[in-house]
Structure 1
Amino acid sequence: PEEERRVKVRLTVEVEEVEFHPFTERLRVRGLIREGMDVGRYHTLNVEPGVELFLKRELTGEEREFLKEAGRGGVERRALFISVDDEEILLFQVNDYGIKSMGSFPYPRKGKYYEQKEEGFAVAGEVLSAIREVDPEGVIPLVLLGPGFFKEKLKEELLKREEDLRGRLRTISSSSGGYSGVKEALRNPQVLEMLSSLRLMKELELLREFFERIPRGLAAYGKEMVERAIKWGAVETLLVTESHLHEGWVEEMFNLAREGGSEIRVISEEHEEGRMLEKMGGVGAILRYRIEG
């Protein structure tokens, strides 16, 4: 039989369903074909970085800014965090959308560890393979973190195997390993500077300020309270989670906020702080001054 070959075609699809996988940066778009081959049939487009896509849609100002910011992305818009404690090594990818676990490596226990001591940290080879798999081009920042001396030992062994890591590997002390260790490291000044271009870092900074201001009456949350604050001109920064972005009341709120000179930020729900805001109604505001009632 003749070998099948793929032929590139141009299709216009009326979108009905969209599914985005933030940590693989792949977008699945499903809908009816309106122009091109097989008009009237359903088709799914798999979109990933580098794919040329034309969007026919009336966009709001926030959506345009969102697309511009996303368009400035790239490999450098993520980092790999290697969390080390006395039991296991955990890998996390941090990008514009949040923190995702990428795998774990338990330490050899008891006597087995000491038998391997002279040969070096055997698990370092597995960690290095995982780093290469996530980052085959060898360009994204690496952060090695955790309590105690284990992270220093792992760093030594990684550099023995690949000296090129030295220029992009930072070591950070944290009080714990795992996810909580990564969250702690994201507040470290060195890490803040290294990852300053990430949308996530800007979001976490705003949300920390938002939550800290609530007890002082300098933050509002929930649709009614935030609407009142906007009408009084009290909103410095308006925060809205992504899942509410296309609801009519949100666009009205955006228009009022713009008139009052408020900054508007759309918040991802792929991280813990964003999910907390969603549970509070999906909308919050950092206030210029306290409001009564």
Structure 2
Amino acid sequence: MIVKQSDVAANALLIIPEDADDLFTLRRIIGRGDYAVADTTRVLKQQSDYGRPNKGERVKVRLTIRVDRVELDASVNRLRISGTITQTSNELVSKGMHHALSVQAGDILTVDKGRKWQDMELRLLRRSGDASSSFILVAIDTQEAAVARVTGTHVKIIPNIYSGQHGKRYAAKNASLDSFFSDIAKTVASVLSERDKIIIFGPGETRRKFYNILDKNGLPKERAQVVDGVDVAGEDGIFVFLRSSAMKEAMSASKLATVSAMLDQVMLMVNRGENKYAIGLKDIANAADIKAIESIIFSDTIFKTAEEEDVVRLLNSVEAYGARTFAVDSSTDIGLRVSSLGGMVALLRYAMR
């Protein structure tokens, strides 16, 4: 998340969410009565004296709305901010009308609290803004490769790229690996950002051959590494890597590795019969009431069984006394594991029973 001081007002911040985690952070800090400023579109219809209004023209307009409601959509990829228009850059758009801003990753939003920002709110923004590097994963062998981008705890996989190589049992002429490597490099370049690191793995020596030609294909070799211990390529290789000890070592500074280690700790406590954990919204809420929460992991499935506002209130209350919260989704094995445990798991400061 990119956060800067805005010139709209003394207490206004310009915010650019970069992924789904950032959108949920905004969901937690924007409240009723705040002011949100963003560029949007409205359909303006011309009304004639004796006829029906025409279909209208969609125009771009900058609106300031006083927030009445904030909610995530079902896929947690879009934030909807509803409220009353208080300022507009187009005189044809009337003040006092109701409007809903739709915010996605990459959109620019200005938020004015009309007061000094609370420490907890700034801490949430700072944590999103100081997020560790994202990672580009390349699972490769001589026949196929998959590329994935890991941001926070979210994984986006690009479909397999095939080399055209045949197995040793076939006498047909094989396609050039140079062309295969070039296609993979172009795919990596299309999703690579300035702070991303590249991790290459897979069976055999193909992974090292691809690493050796990174600079020839315009990719930063100094930000890449080859990882051993994952002998599967393609999309399956991506998922195997994300469940492996190699991931925790290669991505030790990442949010995904942190959450994976925390979840393993919970499972170990369960097996040992220790009670420094809580599972499910009800038990975690009880632990939060006595400030026993150390950290919480929750998945997007929690919103299917609990009210969004209740979840947000709980997470903000534990953040206020120093606990950490981590959102995961079903794009990873970790997200699926958390979902199977009721959508929310917590590590406790001390045993409750």
TM-score by length of 2: 0.62
Instruction: Give the C-alpha shift of residue 87 in structure 1.
Output: 3.5
- 1:99-156 Cα offsets, whole Å, 9 max, x none, are 1102320121326885445xx4321111111122112x65521111112222122223
The counterpart of 1:132, out of the listed 182, 189, 195, is 189
Secondary structure in 1 aligned to 2:214? Answer: helix
Report the alpha carbon displacement of residue 50 of structure 1 after superposing the two structures with TM. 6.9
**Alpha-carbon distance between aligned partners in 2 of 1:258 and 1:6, rounded to the nearest angstrom:** 41
Is 1:172 the counterpart of 2:266? The answer is no
Count of paired positions: 275
Of the candidates 191, 205, 209, which is equivalent to residue 149 of structure 1? Answer: 205
1:175 shift after superposition = 3.3
Q: Hey, what does 1:280 align to over in structure 2?
A: 341
Match 1:9 to one of 58, 62, 66: 62
Query: Which 5+ residue runs of structure 2 have no aligned equivalent?
Result: 1-56
Identity %: 14
Moved more, 40-49 or 166-175: 40-49
Question: Which residues of 2 match residues 202-221 of structure 1 at below 5 A?
Answer: 202-218=258-274, 219-221=277-279
Alignment of 1:1-293 (within 5 A): 9-12=62-65, 14=67, 15=69, 17-19=71-73, 27-29=78-80, 31-35=82-86, 36=88, 37-39=93-95, 40-49=97-106, 51-56=108-113, 64-73=122-131, 77-110=133-166, 115-117=174-176, 120-135=177-192, 139-162=195-218, 164-173=219-228, 174-177=230-233, 178-184=237-243, 187-188=246-247, 190-193=249-252, 196=253, 198-218=254-274, 219-226=277-284, 235-241=293-299, 243=303, 246-248=308-310, 251=313, 255=317, 263-270=323-330, 271-287=332-348, 292=353
For residue 57 of structure 1, report the CA deviation from its aligned partner. 9.1
The structure-2 alpha-carbon separation of the partners of 1:155 and 1:210, relative to structure 1 and needing over 3 Å to count, comes to same
How far did residue 13 of structure 1 move? 5.5
Distance 1:282 1:288 in 2: 20
Q: Give the direction of change, closer, same or farther, for the CA distance of 1:245–1:142 in structure 2 (3 Å limit).
A: farther
1:210·1:286 contact (CA, 8 Å) conserved in 2?
Answer: yes
In 1: Cα distance, 2:313 partner to 2:207 partner: 48
**How much has 1:27 moved relative to structure 2?**
4.3
The alpha-carbon distance between structure 1 residues 16 and 192, as it changes in their structure 2 partners (threshold 3 A), is closer
Structure 1: distance between partners of 2:75 and 2:172: 38
Partner SS, residue 9 of structure 1: strand
Question: Cα offset for 1:199?
Answer: 3.0
Cα separation, partners in 2 of 1:215 and 1:280, compared to 1, 3 Å = same
Distance 1:5 1:254 in 2: 38
Contact 2:133 2:197 in 1 (8 A): no
- Residue 132 of structure 1 aligns to a residue whose secondary structure is helix
| Cα RMSD (Å) | 4.0
The amino acid across from 2:65 in the alignment is: T
8 Å CA contact 1:237–1:264 kept in 2: the answer is: yes
CA distance 1:93–1:153, change in 2 (3 Å):
same
Shift of 1:205: 2.2
Secondary structure of 2:220's partner? helix
- Larger mean CA deviation between 174-183 and 124-133 belongs to 174-183
TM-score between both structures, scaled by the size of structure 1: 0.72
